Chain A
């Protein structure tokens, strides 16, 4: 399969925990990553591989994988976390890269 499926929109109350998920067959075989994109800005990497966070990414962001599902969890969501989130991986052939359709996170 060459698709990654995300919920189009998710909301969370300020300070609460939210999980954003990404599903796809290739997630069983390859490491994946999450990108955050605020309006008008370039994406930034927030999680990759086995729950790795790049320097500067707050530790409230964490990742996990189970079967064909790759999840991003934000523990104690902040107003500045309101953004679009995209998952990314390879397709089943391994030669092409694919993105999920994106999840718009609203912090209430």
Chain B
């Protein structure tokens, strides 16, 4: 069963940190580019970060500005997002997703996310 399951969200004070995790199953995680996308309450989708299959390449949205770090552990089929220096505007559901840019090690040219987790909520409030 193809699945992504996020965890690690919660309530944190401004300036605080969290480590979000995403456990993958049912597909070859180590061949896949992976991304984090977030959605603030009542708002639209916002891309956060993307990491290549072997962690050689990382791409971040401008608002990340060194506060967030994407990483992965292919041996454990896991994706992570370390979120530091949190602000109220970072309050959102954070989704992990498989990125179709590369599939089974081959560049596809596609810009799409075909597998999504159910999301983990991050609330930044004092």
| Interface residues, chain A, with chain B CB atoms under 8 Å away | 30-33, 35, 37, 42-45, 48-49, 54, 84, 86, 88-90, 95-102
Contact = CB atoms under 8 A, between A and B. Distances in A.
Contact of A42 (B110, B112, B119): B119
A44 B116 contact: yes
Nearest to B50: A97
The size class of the interface chain B forms with chain A is 20 to 34
B59 A88 contact: no
Given A33-B113, A88-B45, A99-B44, 7 more contacts: A32-B111, A42-B95, A86-B44, A95-B59, A99-B37, A99-B45, A102-B45
Contacts of B112: 31, 33, 45, 48-49, 88
Nearest to B35: A97
Interface string B26-50: 0000000001010000001111001
B47 A97 contact: yes
A30 B111 contact: yes
Contact of B110 (A49, A99, A100): A49
